[in-house]
Structure 1
Amino acid sequence: MAFGRTSLGSAASGGRSTGAGGQRPLSDINVTPLVDVMLVLLVIFIITAPLMASSIKLDLPRTDAGQPGDTPRFVTLVVDAAGKVYLDDQAVSTDELAAGLAKAAAGSRDTEVQLRADQSVPYGRVVELMGIANKAGLSRIGFVTEAPPKKP
């Protein structure tokens, strides 16, 4: 008995018949299972993401202190080359400076003093102004400088 070649064998093996009896490899990728898995994962993440923020329900108290939108306050203190003092771009005497800094400290103890002093101003004058700010209740002092020019 001789067995003949049938097209049923090639169809059952999953290949495609080319008509001449040979099989051509299957080169298509079936992405349907991948899409199904991704959609299921997406639904799981959409459902669980709000629960991951905080699983403990609390009724937190409300307060005005320390709001995240509060911008830090600062006053600008400038000493020019002649030794003249400016508070927020207004020329002031030593007494007016102390009063202005005390007023700024009354608004908030976290107010920062941004000190801009000419490089020719003696160190003693800068320390004197820092002492006035400290006596007024302002302990946060920032020194404003310029970056040196970049070399080509």
Structure 2
Amino acid sequence: MGIQLDSGPTVKRHNYQQNAEINITPFVDVILVLLIIFMVAAPLATVDVPVDLPSNAATASPPPLEPVYITVQADGALFVQEQPVTFAQLVDITQAQTAGNREARLFLRGDQSVEYGTLMRVMNSLQKAGYARISLVASEELEP
């Protein structure tokens, strides 16, 4: 009588191939949904909320008693206040009108038919002279 030694039933292992790649499809789906949510929610975050703000205790700075107007007419003629000047005299007359105060606000008025380059030349010459507070003046547009 012989004894047959058997190790028992043989265990078969699965021959699945290992997959080391990450499936990013669900990740992309989640990111796209978040993108859509933020695109919809972003404009809602910029809505103005009415608020009754407290008053400011500091007194407002008074406007200049006599603002300095520099006018450029359609034909290119320059005026400081109501005095006609040449382009070469512009800085000197402006300094005389502002008493040398470089912090004085200047109001630049230009006819709508004046070339853009002409206004820029005037502004640049005033800025080179040290005037940084130059405001452009426009007329109020009336609604039809």
TM-score (norm 2): 0.52
Q: Deviations over 1:32-57 (max 9, x none)?
A: xxxxxxxxxxxxxxxxxxxxxxxxxx
RMSD: 2.1
TM-score (norm 1): 0.49
Q: Secondary structure at the match of 2:114?
A: coil
Tell me the amino acid that sits aligned with residue 147 of structure 1: E
CA–CA distance in 2 between the matches of 1:85 and 1:133?
13
Instruction: Give ranges in structure 2 of 5+ residues lacking alignment.
Output: 1-59
Q: 1:137 aligns with which of 108, 130, 133?
A: 130
Aligned length: 84
Aligned positions of 1:1-152 closer than 5 A:
71-72=63-64, 74-104=67-97, 106-151=99-144
The change in CA–CA distance for 1:144 and 1:70 in structure 2 (over 3 A counts) is closer
Q: Secondary structure at the match of 1:98?
A: helix
CA–CA distance in 1 between the matches of 2:98 and 2:83?
18
Q: Percent identity?
A: 31
Q: Deviations over 1:111-139 (max 9, x none)?
A: 11101000110100000000111122111
CA–CA distance in 2 between the matches of 1:69 and 1:134?
23
| TM-superposed deviation, 1:107 | 3.2
Q: Is the 8 A contact 2:91 2:126 kept in 1?
A: yes
The change in CA–CA distance for 1:69 and 1:134 in structure 2 (over 3 A counts) is closer
| TM-superposed deviation, 1:81 | 0.7
Tell me the amino acid that sits aligned with residue 129 of structure 2: A
* Runs of 4+ deviating beyond 4 Å: 68-71
| TM-superposed deviation, 1:98 | 1.6
Q: Is the 8 A contact 1:102 1:137 kept in 2?
A: no
Q: Comparing 96-105 with 76-85, which one deviates more in the overlay?
A: 96-105
| TM-superposed deviation, 1:109 | 2.2
Q: Secondary structure at the match of 1:95?
A: coil
Q: Secondary structure at the match of 2:89?
A: helix
Tell me the amino acid that sits aligned with residue 138 of structure 1: Y
